[in-house]
Structure 1
Amino acid sequence: MSRSWILIAGIVGLAACAESPEPQADQAPAEPSSLDLSSDSGAQAALELYLARQAMPGRAHYDAVCASCHEGAVEKAPHREMIGLMNPEAILRTVTTGIMVEEASSLTDEQRVEVAEYLAGAEMGSVALADIPQCADDVGLDLSRPPQMPSWGLQPANTRHIDAQTAGLEAADVSALKPRWAVKFPGANRARSQPTMAGGLVFVGGHNAKVYALDQQTGCQVWSAETSGEVRTGIVVDQWDSEVAKPRLYFGDVLGFVYALDASTGEELWRQRTDDHPNATVTGTPTLHNGKLLAPVSSLEVSLAIDPNYECCTFRGSVVAYDVASGEQLWKTHTIFEEPRVQGQNPVGTNIMGPSGATVWNSPSIDRKRNQLYVGTGENMSSPATLTSDAIFAIDIDTGNVNWTWQATANDVWNTACDTASPANCPPEDGPDFDFGCATLLATLSDGRDLVVAGQKSGFVHALDPDTGELVWQTRVGRGGIQGGVHFGMAASGDRLFVGISDMADGRTYDTPDRPGLHALDMKTGEIEWYSEAPNICDGRMGCHPGVSQAVTSVNGMVFAGGMDGVMRVHDAATGDVLWSLDSTAEFATVNGEPTQGGSFGGGSGPVVQDGLVLLSSGYGIYLHMPGNLLLALDTAE
């Protein structure tokens, strides 16, 4: 996106904010031209663009169906101005097959097109969507180069640590990093699928409901495969040890499907829906272990509670195991053990359903010694509260039986109705929304102990005994909040834990001060060793915030931590000092032939470093963060 368009969009946004209320019967309507912009031709053009946009037929449909959430009433709903940074094709996909399909169900196909064009301020087809160019025919999967880090957590224990041999990058050389290639995904405003390198290729999912295989050296496209919806998970790859192997890829999409594809061709081998609930989704990357694909299941039902006529809520989180060869479901373990039932009525007479929630939006970690996996859960979405929300689960990998659970925050029952002018579905607990969104990790310490370590949106980090689930230590690292605390992923190296803290403002008042940035803890004791505070360089930019939400990665004595301000910072693992940084919101040339920019670093797509190549995913145009569309490869080669 050009700087001139950002300026125009900003002026249009100001004009929208200055829009007068509906006139009373005895008043003349306010004239938008009273905003004295005529002295500047660019501002006048922006005003004319704004007026034309308001006259588009989609405005009435937007006001009727969408405005109640997207005009600031719901903290997590992106504002209209941010949605307008997307192209109409991307918006249309969101309301037809994507994250907002349920909310837009009352609109006809024609009305959805009109809403998309109104929000984007452009007609369908007005923006060129250059695809990623195809590679030459001789570029493909190299079976002599098996994957070194085939999973989201980079190791089964989810430590997100990359050793010196695998990384091929030293701290002394990090300042020499420069772009090797960059990719702009067609029709996207975020890049939140963590790429995986294997066989000389980069496998990555897109906001545009596709999975790509790219050449690791040049970024050209070997193949692409279409999916039902946005792919926000990382891509998991089979291990192989033979040059006649037929490895597969595994991932999930926003509509709750999990897939297996042929890694060489992208051919779909099987797909399964993880849950029958219409709002099920897969956010955390599935984990592969001993012939089983272990998929965490989350939901977007929490946002539907804003409608007082919606019977909130009926979704229960789960983990599902599939046979990787056939896609057959082997077992399914719900995080709430009883099915939802009518619990009463809300103030407008709609049934209250429950218990519900305890979603799982993090990637399972594997404990080979104990043959169990670990996941964390979110809040309950409706009363009654359960003992398994905001909790850590240990689940037997063979049977799906629950070995133990440990709850961090009791009575956390919350949904989006609680922070709006329509709170009919807000439960009486009106909880703090302290999910475990961050993946658990299993750490083996220098003294021989194993610990299950979990970071929470409360700002606390908890260490548990993997045999019993008993608490070993607990440390408050951040303030916490609806968009605060620990979000998507920590990293561990030796006895040291690296914790990114968001602590983004969420409209609530807290007694504890914000502590956004990167923290290091001694896992033997839980004591904080150092804190690198995130600087506030946002200067009023929409969607820009100090702090770390994206998963962080430990790399050979360094920690890569992407900020919500769009800056990737590489820290010294021993001291926290910043060794190097890169502003991803700058303009980058791409293999597509069109320039692109990143945005906020967000979601589970943490940095990946292998054989001297660094892969960064930037852009998080959701939940009040900066949109962007950048997969960037860097190295130190001349």
Structure 2
Amino acid sequence: MAASIFHNNVILTFLFIFPFFNPTFAGFTWNSVAKGPKSSQNWVNHGGDLYNRRYAEKETMISPETVSNLRLKWEFIAGKDITATPAIFDGTLYFPSWNGNIYAIKACDGSLVWEKNLEELTGLNATGFIVNVNWTVARATPTIADDLLIIGISGPAIVIAVERLTGELVWSTQLDNHPAGIITMSGTYYKGHFYVGTSSSEEGASIEQCCIFRGSFAKLDVRSGKVLWQTFTLPDNFGQKGEYAGAAIWGSSPSIDTTRNHIYVSTGNLYSAPLRIRQCQEAENNQTVPTSPDKCIEPENHSNSILAFDLETGVIKWYRQLGGYDLWFLACNNLSTPNCPPGPNPDADFGEAPMMLSIDVNGTKRDIAVAVQKSGFAWALNRDNGDLIWSTKSLLEEILNRLKKLRQFTSKTSCRHFYVGTSSAESGVSIEQCCTFRGSFAKLDVRSGKVLWQTFTLPDNFGQTGGYAGAAVWGSSPSIDTTRNHVYVGTGNLYSAPLRVRQCQEAENNQTLPTSPGKCVEPENHSDSILAFDLETGAIKWYRQLGGYDVWFLACNNLSTPNCPPGPNPDADFGEAPMMLSIDVNGTKRDIVVAVQKSGFAWALNRDSGDLIWSTEVGPGGPGGGGTWGAATDKKRVYTNLANSLFMNFTLIPSQTNTNASGWVAMDAKSGEILWSIADPSNSRVSGPVTIANGVLFASSTDKQGPVYAIDAKNGRILWSYETGATVYGGMSVSNGCIYVGNGYKVNIGTFISTYTAGTSLFAFCLT
């Protein structure tokens, strides 16, 4: 039985006889927790709000002056790892655990309200694609949709709605029938519709099996779960291997621009690309530069991209491909593996959706969308058209030099609808089996679970390998723009691409540049992209492919593996949905979406068009990031984690200290200029999303002791920390003087990382 307990710097593990043991801790006076929707800071999905900002805007008690007074108030023991940011509504927390359960507990004392087992609730069996997990699980933050709670299943790619007060099942909708399809994105709910992207595990397939999955973005009717539209991020591969695959939409929450009727997302790398793309890449001598045009990126290849979809129709209004050619899957991680596609394969997808903000540029307000890529670049795009406003390039020369050396050998709610994306575990299949999954984003009726629309992120492959696959929608929560009637998401890489794309990539000598168009990225390839969907129709209003060619799956992690697609395969997907904000550019207000990609780039796009406002290379990219899972903004600054998964050297600002550690970065929202950067004091990998509240940035580390940190948002100084006792892979939600976070990650990818440790609990830290 899960239970709530108090302790002081000691993790207690024992069998419980009393289900709710909540003694008062003598000597502490706890501040009150959420008394109701009017007084509380609700946290409605991974991104926290409609704009995917991870910003506790109503928080007033926590500040740089008071945060050192945070103390552990209670611990809820679920018994297994908790990696999702808890949702908060009206004094109740909602979250899944890797034990296969969903929980509702009281924020005031951690007592259990209800607990539901997903396998018993849905009748679904485990797909077998998740390592160390043989039961049905959900990994994303649930989305609050009035009296419903909506959450995606991490295989198969199914979205379910349950009664928020009881946990009883209301409806269930499948968004992708690919066996490796999964939902990793926390969807966005807006005006009776749910917007979400699809992702996949197909990039773990063998060289022979990889890949056919295509990422997609969908709009669902929240009452019935009916798909209203679904737009793919890649051209149709007709279920054939050797074509486009990947471009999943897998991170954070899509942001919705109600002014422009856009929704913004970002996408992952390719898993596969057509022969012409691979040939193009080979002809380009495998050169991939984040900030330059890529000959091998075709207009319909929306991998490594930021896109704006029309909320009503799902039409892509604009897109910006950021990163160029990037074809990565696990079996070709080593480019010397026989039959792998040409490299490089930076796996520089976006692990987050763009966030929206407005900046002042010389007295003009500019609306931008900002995202950070696994490549280490941050990008700011004009929300009107996707034009680049700024990007960080502080490490560009170093990245280019390293690439030269390489050539020598990564859900939201509205009134009655739920928006969610689909993802997949197909990236783990063999080369022969990979891949057919296509990411998608859907709108569901929150009452019935009926899919109102579902838009795929790639063209149809008709269940055949050798075409487009991948482009999953797998991270954080889509952001909703009520002005533009848009919902914004980011997508993952391709798992597979058509022969013509692979040939193109080979012909381009594998050049992939995150900030420039790629000849081998076709218009319907929405992998590694940020997209804006129309809330009503699911049409893609605009899209921006950010990263170029990026076909990655596990069996081709080594590109020298025989029968793998050409590289590079940077796996540079978006692990987070874009967040929405507004900036002032020279006195003009600009509405933007911002997302950080696994490549290490942050991107800000115009919410109207997907035009690039700015992009910033926040630090070194890598398969694990760069930035991933979720950046944050308080309208003045943009904050991101920097996983630096390849342990590359870079220089901290302003200290000028050289480090190869992970850490955190703050950028000016107007220009993308890096204001400060700091390293993780534990010298471990940083993967969890950041959260901003009243001048305090909350962050976490995967160190085995599970530290969580409170950082001064102005200067990067650490103000408070606490060790939870196990790896912290998720993020924190904030409400009324308290922060909430889970610990443990020794399942799925965490199984293979020796320094990661298993956890059991959700913690509440409150001001005394």
Q: TM-score, normalised by structure 2?
A: 0.57
Deviation by residue 1:567-610 (Cα, 9 ceiling, x = unmatched):
1111111111111111122xxxxxxxxxxxx31x22xx421111
- Which secondary structure state, in structure 2, belongs to the residue aligned with residue 437 of structure 1? strand
Match of 1:155 among 49, 53, 64: 49
> For residue 302 of structure 1, what is the aligned residue in structure 2?
203
- Which secondary structure state, in structure 1, belongs to the residue aligned with residue 172 of structure 2? strand
Deviation by residue 1:126-147 (Cα, 9 ceiling, x = unmatched):
x9875992599xxxx9877787
The alpha-carbon deviation at position 372 of structure 1 amounts to: 1.2
Output the amino acid matched with 1:332: Q
The alpha-carbon deviation at position 196 of structure 1 amounts to: 1.7
The alpha-carbon deviation at position 149 of structure 1 amounts to: 2.7
2:77 aligned with 1:184: yes
Contact 1:417 1:424 in 2 (8 A): no
What is the distance in 2 between the residues matched to 1:198 and 1:414?
38
What is the distance in 1 between the residues matched to 2:18 and 2:183?
26
- Which secondary structure state, in structure 2, belongs to the residue aligned with residue 353 of structure 1? coil
2:87 aligned with 1:193: no
What is the distance in 2 between the residues matched to 1:568 and 1:557?
16
Contact 2:734 2:740 in 1 (8 A): yes
What is the distance in 1 between the residues matched to 2:681 and 2:35?
43
> For residue 109 of structure 2, what is the aligned residue in structure 1?
218
Match of 1:207 among 73, 88, 98: 98
What is the distance in 2 between the residues matched to 1:578 and 1:143?
32
Contact 1:390 1:408 in 2 (8 A): yes
Identity of aligned residues (%): 33
> For residue 238 of structure 1, what is the aligned residue in structure 2?
145
> For residue 578 of structure 1, what is the aligned residue in structure 2?
718
> For residue 231 of structure 2, what is the aligned residue in structure 1?
333
> For residue 671 of structure 2, what is the aligned residue in structure 1?
525
Q: Which runs of 5+ in 1 are unaligned?
A: 1-126, 240-246, 538-544, 586-597
Deviation by residue 1:19-47 (Cα, 9 ceiling, x = unmatched):
xxxxxxxxxxxxxxxxxxxxxxxxxxxxx
Match of 2:472 among 359, 369, 372: 359
Output the amino acid matched with 1:298: S
What is the distance in 2 between the residues matched to 1:317 and 1:350?
20
> For residue 740 of structure 2, what is the aligned residue in structure 1?
615
Return the index of the structure with the highest Cα Rg. Answer: 1
Structure 1 range deviating more: 556-565 or 212-221: 212-221
Structure 1 466/574 Cα, relative in aligned 2: closer, same or farther at 3 Å?
same
Structure 1 356/215 Cα, relative in aligned 2: closer, same or farther at 3 Å?
same
- Which secondary structure state, in structure 1, belongs to the residue aligned with residue 66 of structure 2? helix
> For residue 381 of structure 1, what is the aligned residue in structure 2?
495
What is the distance in 2 between the residues matched to 1:235 and 1:402?
24
The alpha-carbon deviation at position 513 of structure 1 amounts to: 7.3
Query: Alpha carbon RMSD of aligned pairs, Å?
Result: 2.9
> For residue 174 of structure 2, what is the aligned residue in structure 1?
273
Structure 1 457/131 Cα, relative in aligned 2: closer, same or farther at 3 Å?
farther
Contact 1:132 1:184 in 2 (8 A): no
The alpha-carbon deviation at position 472 of structure 1 amounts to: 1.9
2:378 aligned with 1:485: no
What is the distance in 2 between the residues matched to 1:349 and 1:504?
25
What is the distance in 2 between the residues matched to 1:584 and 1:358?
35
Output the amino acid matched with 1:378: G
Structure 1 454/421 Cα, relative in aligned 2: closer, same or farther at 3 Å?
closer
- Which secondary structure state, in structure 2, belongs to the residue aligned with residue 171 of structure 1? coil
- Which secondary structure state, in structure 1, belongs to the residue aligned with residue 203 of structure 2? helix
> For residue 148 of structure 2, what is the aligned residue in structure 1?
248
Contact 1:305 1:416 in 2 (8 A): yes
Contact 1:553 1:559 in 2 (8 A): yes
2:63 aligned with 1:170: yes
Contact 2:235 2:468 in 1 (8 A): no
What is the distance in 1 between the residues matched to 2:723 and 2:714?
24
2:160 aligned with 1:259: yes
Structure 1 144/532 Cα, relative in aligned 2: closer, same or farther at 3 Å?
closer
Contact 2:630 2:689 in 1 (8 A): yes
Structure 1 167/296 Cα, relative in aligned 2: closer, same or farther at 3 Å?
farther
What is the distance in 2 between the residues matched to 1:502 and 1:131?
41
> For residue 324 of structure 1, what is the aligned residue in structure 2?
222
Structure 1 160/350 Cα, relative in aligned 2: closer, same or farther at 3 Å?
closer
What is the distance in 2 between the residues matched to 1:350 and 1:436?
26
- Which secondary structure state, in structure 1, belongs to the residue aligned with residue 78 of structure 2? coil
What is the distance in 2 between the residues matched to 1:437 and 1:133?
36
Q: How many residues in Structure 1 have an aligned counterpart in Structure 2?
A: 470
Output the amino acid matched with 1:207: W
2:118 aligned with 1:227: yes
The alpha-carbon deviation at position 367 of structure 1 amounts to: 1.6
Structure 1 530/128 Cα, relative in aligned 2: closer, same or farther at 3 Å?
closer
What is the distance in 1 between the residues matched to 2:551 and 2:103?
39
1:449-598 to 2 correspondences below 5 Å: 449-505=590-646, 514=660, 516-537=662-683, 545-546=684-685, 548-565=686-703, 566-585=706-725, 598=726
Structure 1 563/143 Cα, relative in aligned 2: closer, same or farther at 3 Å?
closer
Output the amino acid matched with 1:300: S
Structure 1 574/212 Cα, relative in aligned 2: closer, same or farther at 3 Å?
same
- Which secondary structure state, in structure 1, belongs to the residue aligned with residue 473 of structure 2? coil
The alpha-carbon deviation at position 424 of structure 1 amounts to: 3.5
Contact 2:233 2:529 in 1 (8 A): no
2:473 aligned with 1:342: no
- Which secondary structure state, in structure 1, belongs to the residue aligned with residue 225 of structure 2? coil
Q: Which runs of 5+ in 2 are unaligned?
A: 1-12, 23-33, 120-135, 243-274, 276-337, 340-429, 434-464, 502-520, 652-657
> For residue 426 of structure 1, what is the aligned residue in structure 2?
564
What is the distance in 1 between the residues matched to 2:151 and 2:46?
10
Higher strand share: 2
Output the amino acid matched with 2:19: P
- Which secondary structure state, in structure 2, belongs to the residue aligned with residue 416 of structure 1? coil
Contact 1:193 1:231 in 2 (8 A): no
Contact 1:479 1:515 in 2 (8 A): no
What is the distance in 1 between the residues matched to 2:239 and 2:152?
29
Structure 1 302/252 Cα, relative in aligned 2: closer, same or farther at 3 Å?
same
